Amino acid sequence: MDKSTYYITTPIFYPNDRLHIGHAYSATVTDTLARYKRLRGFDVRFLTGTDENAQKVQRKAQEAGKETLQFVDEIVASIQSLWRRLGISYDDYIRTTEPRHQEIVQKIFTKLQDQGDIYLGEYEGWYCTPDESYWTERQLVDGKCPDCGREVERVREKSYFFRMSRYADRLIAHYQEHPEFIVPESRKNEMLQNFLLPGLEDLCVSRAAAGWGIEVPGDPQRVIYVWLDALTNYITALGYLSGDSAREALMARYWPADVHMMAKEIVRFHAIYWPIILMALDLPLPKQVVGHGWLLMKDGKMSKSKGNVVDPNLLIDRYSADALRYFLLRDIAFGQDGVFTLESMMERLNYDLANDLGNLLHRTLSMVERFCGGQVPAPGPHTDVEERFSTLIVDAVTQVELALDRYDFSGALAAIWTIVRRGNQYIDEMAPWALNKAGQTERLGAVLYNTLDVMRIVGILLEPFMPHTPARIFAQLGLDVSVADRRSAELSWAAAREMGRLPSGQATQKVEPLFMRLDVEKEIAELEALLAGEVGKGEVGKGEAKSAPPAKSLEVAAAESPKAEPEGVTTLIGIEDFAKVELRVARVIEAQKIEKADKLLKLQLDLGYERRQVVSGIAKFYTPEELAGQLVILVANLKPVKLRGEASHGMILAASVGDQLRLATVAGDIELGAVVK
């Protein structure tokens, strides 16, 4: 096998209803790995699809009053549409109703039957239709399905069984010899303690025929049970036993799979039944079975019955696919359950995407347009500052690679954001506006070139996570994004480790910011109404919401400054009065002019432990570009007020003499939120 191949799969999804955001999470993490491996030069095969022969799919179609295949076709079309919108870059989509799958499943059944692994017997026990799972009496929890908690039904019928017990010891040995086989390791312990060590029972692999499913060869009264049918999709899609040399070449090239990705509730089937089936077929086992956690709502797991399902299409319509992908990958610790809240999504979009990423590119392009005529300037020699920045970038890329190797998507994005945030700090420290005033043209050009080049690097690193955003970044840097080969000298993954690869001289293209700040209070109210079905979709943004002040839960502002005492008069106070004033160090992360208010600027401040909004009367002394990134001293415990309709909580300190004003700040490097004494 060519070691440069990489075969990765999602679970095949039940097309019994439209998919929710939890399904989108499964597809997104899988797609991120596939895109990353392609950027690293691997020959990737990415498979997804739908499990269409299940009994519950047939029941759903009957409830909808439709023919089963018609019902399934409509749901599959909606799934494929969602995957296109999310940018899920699969190479093959397998449907278990396709002849290429059904014919091979029957061949597999016959092969296993002929070698004595499948036999005809009688099953009597408990069955959960929604989960397509058989359970023994001891496995039930309070008489219900241990996986989903729903009612089970007693069934008794002639069935075909797979001799799982024949291979149980061999599977346990495989676990011991390949500790990396199941990720996370806690899932392996669950498989051993709950299923393998107590004694693995033979698996029922057929059901009574009901007009839907793959017929058992030579026995039209029965259909092949879903788990033998569904699990084999990973090899039927590669042409196993097809007799077609071109299709079987895929099997020779890509099997065994590198990663089977899925939610944790189906790890059992992939980590026990599937490897045993492969052992019986004398095929290599997949390298890893990876089970991620659930995406929960505040009231528990998403389900139609609870009415808490979030449609990813709604969020894509309103904020863009990349914004949704970023939130899912950044906010959830992989392998653990994550809780979806509208508030947490708004914070990620506002602070990470709008304030950090969007602001870095937009403010840089504004200065390039203003100081360099809208062209990428020539690079200059690196100072110690740039050398340290270069080292930080190399370290961050290494951290991204290590994190993705262990499926730590949040950690990988956090590493990328060290570059983004350092980019904003670099602008603040280098102060291009001051270099321009001082006539230091060469250094000014070098600083702006370096910042644009950092955006090139960030764009490369973001490609696996946010596939649409990098093209927008590259276009604004004047790079040709129409070239199909993304491994050009300046856009390859390797080029992300090296500053100075951005060509100079081409025209930049400043357009609207990548991501705009959201009015959180308004957004949450409208989204809650949409999710509750109280209003229609109405007119929603194509990608980024309009810029607006944050909601009350995120607002911070400053009270009006008290009137100054007459010159030369000092009012004495006691230490107890001064102790009432809480002064803290904050960083300006964004500054904006307020319409029809010549003296006022609206500032977004980072105190380390929270974000705040402050309105300050310093517009005649500072431009927004000059303020971004500066350390200031905030009076943090003033009562909030509104100035020109903008909420303000706190006040930044400044010193003034005559017509001059300068912000008060602190010397040296100090933690944000530190108390000034």
Query: Are residues 515 and 354 in contact, defined by beta-carbon separation less than 8 angstroms?
Result: yes
Number of helical H runs and strand E runs in the chain:
23, 25
Please state, in angstroms and rounded to a whole number, the distance separating the CA atoms of residues 181 and 257: 12
Q: What is the dihedral of CA 445, 451, 453, 455, to 10 degrees?
A: -150
Tell me which of 497, 519, 534 is where a domain ends. Answer: 497
User: Is 361 found in the same domain as 464?
Assistant: yes
Tokens of 240: 């196993």
Please state, in angstroms and rounded to a whole number, the distance separating the CA atoms of residues 442 and 440: 6
User: Is 490 found in the same domain as 616?
Assistant: no
Q: What are phi and psi of 328, to 5 degrees?
A: -60, -40
Tell me which of 497, 514, 546 is where a domain ends. Answer: 497
User: Is 388 found in the same domain as 487?
Assistant: yes
pLDDT tens digits, 648-667: 989 999 887 656 787 887 76
Asked whether residue 488 is domain-assigned, the answer is: yes
Tokens of 262: 């899925």
Q: What are phi and psi of 452, to 5 degrees?
A: -65, -40
Strand positions, DSSP E, 118-202:
118-128, 133-135, 153-162, 182-183
Q: Is 548 left (phi over 0), alpha (psi -120 to 50) or beta?
A: beta
Asked whether residue 261 is domain-assigned, the answer is: no
Q: What's the CATH code of the domain at 466? A: 1.10.730.10
User: Is 588 found in the same domain as 484?
Assistant: no
SS3 435: helix
At 630 the pLDDT is: 81
User: Is 353 found in the same domain as 441?
Assistant: yes
Strand positions, DSSP E, 352-427:
none
Asked whether residue 492 is domain-assigned, the answer is: yes
- The domain total for the chain is 2
User: Is 584 found in the same domain as 488?
Assistant: no
Asked whether residue 371 is domain-assigned, the answer is: yes
Asked whether residue 414 is domain-assigned, the answer is: yes
Q: What is the DSSP string of 50-97?
A: E----HHHHHHHHHHTS-HHHHHHHHHHHHHHHHHHHT---SEEEETT
Query: Are residues 305 and 200 in contact, defined by beta-carbon separation less than 8 angstroms?
Result: no
Please state, in angstroms and rounded to a whole number, the distance separating the CA atoms of residues 224 and 105: 8
Please state, in angstroms and rounded to a whole number, the distance separating the CA atoms of residues 242 and 182: 29
User: Is 590 found in the same domain as 493?
Assistant: no
pLDDT tens digits, 165-195: 999 999 999 999 999 999 998 889 899 999 9
Tokens of 596: 């029809």
Asked whether residue 234 is domain-assigned, the answer is: no
User: Is 579 found in the same domain as 490?
Assistant: no
User: Is 585 found in the same domain as 477?
Assistant: no
At 487 the pLDDT is: 56
Angle between helices 441-462 and 469-476 (to 10 degrees): 160
At 3 the pLDDT is: 55
Q: What's the CATH code of the domain at 621? A: 2.40.50.140
Please state, in angstroms and rounded to a whole number, the distance separating the CA atoms of residues 461 and 464: 7
In sequence order, what are the residues at sequence separation of 6 or more whose Cβ sits closer than 8 angstroms to the Cβ of residue 6? 34, 37, 42, 43, 44, 45, 258
Position 241: which residue type?
Answer: L
User: Is 471 found in the same domain as 587?
Assistant: no
User: Kind of pairing, strands 289-292 and 259-263?
Assistant: parallel
Find tokens 């927008």 and name the residue. 472
Asked whether residue 526 is domain-assigned, the answer is: no
pLDDT tens digits, 138-161: 778 888 888 778 888 887 778 999
Please state, in angstroms and rounded to a whole number, the distance separating the CA atoms of residues 25 and 285: 25
User: Is 472 found in the same domain as 603?
Assistant: no
Position 445: which residue type?
Answer: G
Its domain, for residue 641, covers 575-663
Tell me which of 464, 497, 530 is where a domain ends. Answer: 497
Task: Tell me which residues of the chain have a pLDDT lower than 70.
Answer: 1-3, 131-132, 134, 298-308, 482-488, 533-579, 609, 657-659, 667-669
Asked whether residue 173 is domain-assigned, the answer is: no
Percent of the chain with pLDDT over 70: 88
Please state, in angstroms and rounded to a whole number, the distance separating the CA atoms of residues 673 and 656: 24
User: Is 493 found in the same domain as 354?
Assistant: yes
In sequence order, what are the residues at sequence separation of 6 or more whose Cβ sits closer than 8 angstroms to the Cβ of residue 645? none
